C-alpha cells in the first residue's frame, strides 16, 4: 500500500461560498486545490445585483472581486449518472436545477481526476446525500462548518479520512473509475488470496502423486476459512460511514441552533419553550 496520500480537490457550491469572506477564502487553498462549478459562478453573478438579501448581495460581489486573482479554477466537468437524472415530466425549480448540476459536476470532476479525492463542500444536506449515494471511491461531501474546522485545526474529518484510506487500499487495483468503493475493496481483498493459492498449486504440482492432492485439499480448506474474514473491512467501512454521517448531522444542527439564537433570540426562545424537554423542566420547577 502506498504511503503517499492522494491529492485533494475542493469543490464549493454557493451555500458554502456565501458563508465566508475573503480572509477565509484565501486560506482554503491550504487544504487542497479549489474549484467552483460554472453554474455556481453564474448564480453568484446573478446575486451580485439581484439578491433579495443585502448581505448575500455584498458577499457575492466580494467573491466576484476575489475569484479572478485567487488561483481558483472554474470547472464544467459535468458527467451523467443514473441516480443524477430528474424524473421524467418533472419540472425542476432553479434551486433544484443548480443542486443537480453541482452533483453532476462533482461526479465529473472525480471521473476526470481518478487519482485525486474530490471533496464537495456544501450546506445543502440533500446535495450531500446525493453525493454519498453515488458511492464513488474518490468522492465525498462535507458541510461547510465541518470544512472550516478542518481548515483551522488541520485535522481531517472522518468522511475524508475514510475515503483516503479506501483510495490507498485501491491504489494497486486496476478498476473502472465509476466502480463503487465497496466492490473495489472486495476485489482488493481477494487478490492476495488468489495469488497465494496459485503459488501453492504450482509448488505442489511439481511434487506429484498423493502429496499434490492432499496439499490442494488443505489449501482449499484454508482458503474457504479465510474468505469470511475478508468481509470485515466492508462492514467497518459501512459503520464508519454511519458514525460520520451521525456526527456531521449533530454538528450541523448544533451550529444552526446557535446561529439562530444569536440572530433572532426572540423567535428562538419561543421555539425552545415549546419543546417537550423545556416544558418538562418548567413543570418540575
Report the pLDDT value the prediction gives residue 228, as an integer from 0 to 100: 47
Report the pLDDT value the prediction gives residue 246, as an integer from 0 to 100: 80
Report the pLDDT value the prediction gives residue 237, as an integer from 0 to 100: 55
Per-residue pLDDT tens digits for 38-83: 999 999 999 988 888 899 999 999 999 999 999 999 999 888 888 8
* The model's pTM: 0.60
Cβ-proximal residues to 64 (8 Å cutoff; 6+ apart), any chain:
44, 45, 48
Low-confidence residues of the chain, pLDDT below 50? Answer: 1, 178, 183-213, 215-217, 219-236
Question: b vs e for 248-284, b when ≥16 Cβ sit within 10 Å of the residue's Cβ?
Answer: beeebeebeeeeeeeeeeeebeeeeeeeeeeeeeeee
Domain 8-172 carries which CATH code?
Answer: 3.40.50.1010
Amino acid at each position: 500500500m502506498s504511503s503517499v496520500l492522494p491529492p485533494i480537490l475542493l469543490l464549493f457550491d454557493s451555500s458554502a461560498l456565501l458563508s465566508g469572506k475573503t480572509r477565509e477564502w484565501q486560506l482554503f487553498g491550504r487544504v487542497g486545490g479549489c474549484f467552483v462549478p460554472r453554474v455556481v459562478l453564474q448564480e453568484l453573478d446573478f446575486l451580485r445585483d439581484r439578491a433579495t438579501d443585502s448581505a448575500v448581495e455584498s458577499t457575492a460581489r466580494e467573491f466576484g472581486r476575489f475569484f479572478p486573482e485567487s488561483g481558483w479554477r472554474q470547472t464544467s466537468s459535468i458527467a451523467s449518472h443514473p441516480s443524477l437524472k430528474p424524473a421524467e415530466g418533472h419540472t425542476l425549480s432553479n434551486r433544484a436545477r443548480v443542486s443537480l448540476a453541482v452533483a453532476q459536476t462533482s461526479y465529473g470532476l472525480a471521473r476526470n481526476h481518478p487519482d485525486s479525492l474530490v471533496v464537495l463542500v456544501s450546506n445543502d444536506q440533500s446535495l450531500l446525500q446525493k453525493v454519498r449515494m453515488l458511492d464513488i471511491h474518490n468522492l465525498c461531501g462535507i458541510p461547510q462548518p465541518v470544512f472550516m474546522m478542518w481548515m483551522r485545526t488541520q485535522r481531517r474529518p472522518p468522511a475524508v479520512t475514510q475515503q483516503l484510506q479506501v483510495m490507498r487500499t485501491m491504489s494497486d487495483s486496476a478498476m473502472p473509475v465509476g466502480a463503487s468503493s465497496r466492490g473495489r475493496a472486495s476485489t482488493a481483498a481477494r487478490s492476495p488470496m488468489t495469488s497465494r493459492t496459485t503459488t501453492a498449486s504450482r509448488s505442489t504440482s511439481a511434487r506429484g502423486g498423493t502429496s499434490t492432492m492432499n496439499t490442494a485439499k488443505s489449501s482449499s480448506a484454508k482458503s474457504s476459512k479465510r474468505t469470511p474474514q475478508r468481509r470485515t473491512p466492508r462492514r467497518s467501512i459501512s459503520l464508519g460511514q454511519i458514525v460520520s454521517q451521525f456526527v456531521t448531522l449533530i454538528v450541523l444542527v448544533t451550529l444552526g441552533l446557535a446561529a439562530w439564537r444569536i440572530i433572532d433570540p426572540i423567535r428562538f426562545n419561543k421555539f425552545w419553550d415549546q419543546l417537550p424537554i423545556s416544558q418538562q423542566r418548567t413543570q418540575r420547577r
